[in-house]
Chains A and B, each alone.
Chain A
Amino acid sequence: MTEPYIRTDLADLPDARGYFGEFGGRFVPETIIPALDELEGAYADAIADPAFHAELAHLQRTYTGRPTPVSYARRLSERLGGAQIYLKREDLAHTGAHKINNALGQGLLAKRMGKKRIIAETGAGQHGVGTATAMALLGLECHVYMGTVDIKRQQPNVFRMKLLGAEVIPVTSGSRTLKDAINEAMRDWVTNVETTFYLLGSALGPHPYPMMVRDFQSVIGVEAREQIQELTGQLPEACIACVGGGSNAIGMFHAFRDDDGTELIGVEAGGHGIESREHAARFADLDISRPGILHGTRSYVMQDEDGQIMETHSISAGLDYPSVGPEHAHLRQMERAFYTMATDEEALEAFQVLSVTEGIIPALESSHALAEAIKRAPTMPRDSVLLVNLSGRGDKDLDTVIGVLGS
């Protein structure tokens, strides 16, 4: 493939202040604004430098294993009897998820900036593992903040990070999940801003993170768009991706933004169902989710009447977050992307169906996207194409699934 590995020609948003329409911006303490300015400048410099692209492309090819393939899910498609389902196989990227794309990109940037101490947050542990992996490769010091609730439910990833030489710092404040890990990482950054690079894992946070993470993940869509045309001779009727913070989805969607015939569908975590109020469906439950400010960006935020952030629920730790990347809020408002949700139960069902029909055990996060494809495919003609971003592999979720389904 000769495509550029960071697609920057589509990047007409955000604007100079970091806004995607009315979402985004920079709502952070003054102390870290100069660091964000420095980061923004260094990033602009890096993406204008062919040597940076070349180095990242080389690592993607020889280390991550890119391009990841697109697989035709023949037996699943036949079973559903409608649209043909294709899977973008980010589960086959090194470390088993798309998170490595961003970790390597930002890691190279940190190295270029001369920062030797890297901090990151993690929920499910996939971004933590991706970051610990990239830092081991690049020889940088790595500290990962992780809520104690997540540490308990993602033990294998905690061990992986330690094995990769990272320090895992337990977070005991607040709900002790992803949002609190981000709080703690931001506090660390505020305190150690001159020596430290904050390697944020999703397309959220203050500008330039939503833009930068999107750019590093846009390789997913750039590859997939070419691959799906090679395989089917057409563009897909729809691209489907799960949305927690939204990095795999925005990475997939971006290359298709100008393809009017391709619907972009984000799938949020419906948890125990909208009525239960135990979910992370920021766009589906507008009684408790509305535009607000969390972790430095203006987007949809699940909050109580008094503006206090609510705790969320999802069977997949990677979708268990009360806000969503600002570009998704914008794409939804512009009606360019459409957002729906899948419950824990639907995701678990999809998890099993894909395992048995295709021999692929998907991450519980990605199972949410599959659940939507399973709902939608039977209603579509047989010559139509659905492209699902299989953002990660499910090995990390076996304990959770055994806990629910029994062994």
Chain B
Amino acid sequence: MIKAREIHGLAALDQMFAAARAQGRAAFLPYFPIGYPTHQASLDAVAAMAEEGADGFEIGIPFSDPIADGPTIQAATQVALENGTTVRKCLDAVGTLRAKGISQPMLMMGYANPLVAYGTDRFVRDARRAGADGLIVPDLPPEEATLFAGSCAREGLALVFFLAPTSNDRRIAMAAEHATGFIYVVSLTGITGARAQLPAYLTDFIARLRSRTDKPLVLGFGISKPEHARQVSDLMDGFIVGSALVRAGGESAAAVRELARSLRGVL
């Protein structure tokens, strides 16, 4: 008998950050799209990463026109769509993972249009029912927060907003005001994709953010190697790895497991 999760939504994310902090490290949050390379393989990849100590997940919902993604995730999500992945199947995937006993926080990550087509309130409600804890929409800036803010607040789900090195103080204040759960910090100006090295300006940028908000800061875009993970672990509350894991996922389940282990192992 699998034990039901006792806490969910924002509280589950808070607990996740607190637990990582207590161990003196950042939380490791892998991104993986449902339906790539197959529906089952994507579930297996998430399950394997959960076993390797991932602290939470971004569950990717594929979209035909992903303007914030680099070639790796574009190609993977295209395959996922060809495999018949729908918004409903992504929600069901979360339900399936929960039924398997995976208890880490999960955030649905998808572009606005498929969620609008599903119905924004209905989507947030069904995400909550499936066992998701939050929502990340890369083409939803805080200006347009009202599309999801009410339903996320009602269901107790986190609604994450982004900050980029290009964000000025006014935008930092907006994200700090509207984001719940955490703020997703884009580590470089650009689209997703594994980079060889982390940019040097990062420390100053994070310090600037810390002086303006108490919300947890999670770094994403461009983290691919264990040495990156080690570098950001002291600086951040969490970090996201996407493209590198997706690339490994295209090779084999074992490759995902191995990369997740090496990323988690250095923390």
Contact = CB atoms under 8 A, between A and B. Distances in A.
Do the two chains belong together in a single complex?
Answer: yes
Interface of A: 17, 25-35, 173-174, 179-180, 183, 186-187, 190-194, 290-296, 301, 303, 305-309
Contact of B190 (A26, A28, A31): A31
Given A293-B112, A309-B64, 10 more contacts: A27-B140, A28-B141, A30-B162, A31-B68, A32-B166, A33-B171, A190-B190, A301-B113, A307-B113, A307-B118
Contact of A30 (B117, B141, B190, B191): B141
Interface string B47-73: 000000000000000011111101100
Contact of B117 (A17, A33, A193, A303): A303
A58 to B, nearest CB: 34
A291 B112 CA distance: 12
Nearest to B190: A191
Closest 9 CB pairs of A and B: A307-B117, A307-B114, A30-B162, A191-B190, A31-B164, A308-B64, A29-B68, A34-B166, A293-B112
A74 to B, nearest CB: 46
Contact of B70 (A186, A187, A305, A309): A187
A193 B166 contact: yes
Interface string B151-172: 0000000000111101110010
B144 A305 contact: no
B64 A26 contact: no
Contacts of B115: 307
Given A26-B143, A31-B189, A294 B166 contact: no
A174 B115 CA distance: 20
Nearest to B112: A293
Interface residues of B, number: 41
B81 interface: yes
User: Which residue, A26, A29, A32, A301, has most C-beta atoms of chain B within 10 A?
Assistant: A29
B113 A25 contact: no
Nearest to A30: B162
Nearest to A191: B190
Contact of A306 (B78, B117, B167): B117
A307 B110 CA distance: 11
Interface of B: 63-68, 70-71, 74, 78, 81, 86-88, 111-118, 138-141, 143-144, 161-164, 166-168, 171, 175, 186, 189-191
A33 B186 CA distance: 13
26 contacts: A26-B144, A27-B139, A29-B162, A29-B164, A30-B171, A31-B164, A31-B166, A31-B189, A33-B143, A33-B167, A173-B71, A173-B74, A174-B65, A174-B78, A179-B65, A187-B191, A191-B191, A193-B166, A193-B189, A194-B166, A194-B189, A291-B116, A306-B86, A307-B87, A307-B114, A308-B81
A117 to B, nearest CB: 14
Given A27-B139, A194-B189, A186 B166 contact: no
Contacts of A25: 143-144
Contacts of B78: 173-174
A286 to B, nearest CB: 14
User: Which residue, B64, B115, B140, B162, has most C-beta atoms of chain A within 10 A?
Assistant: B64
A26 B117 CA distance: 18
A173 B81 CA distance: 14
A221 to B, nearest CB: 30
A179 B64 CA distance: 10
A30 B164 contact: yes
Given A30-B141, A31-B186, A190-B68, A303 B113 contact: yes
A193 B167 CA distance: 12
Contacts of A307: 63, 87, 113-118
A307 B61 CA distance: 11
Nearest to A172: B71
A264 B167 CA distance: 41
Given A25-B144, A31-B164, A309-B64, A293 B189 contact: no
B148 to A, nearest CB: 12
A65 B115 CA distance: 47
B168 A34 contact: yes
Nearest to B137: A27
B191 to A, nearest CB: 5
B70 to A, nearest CB: 7
A309 B143 contact: no
Contacts of B189: 31, 190-194
B166 A29 contact: no
A30 B161 contact: yes
Contacts of A308: 63-64, 81, 114
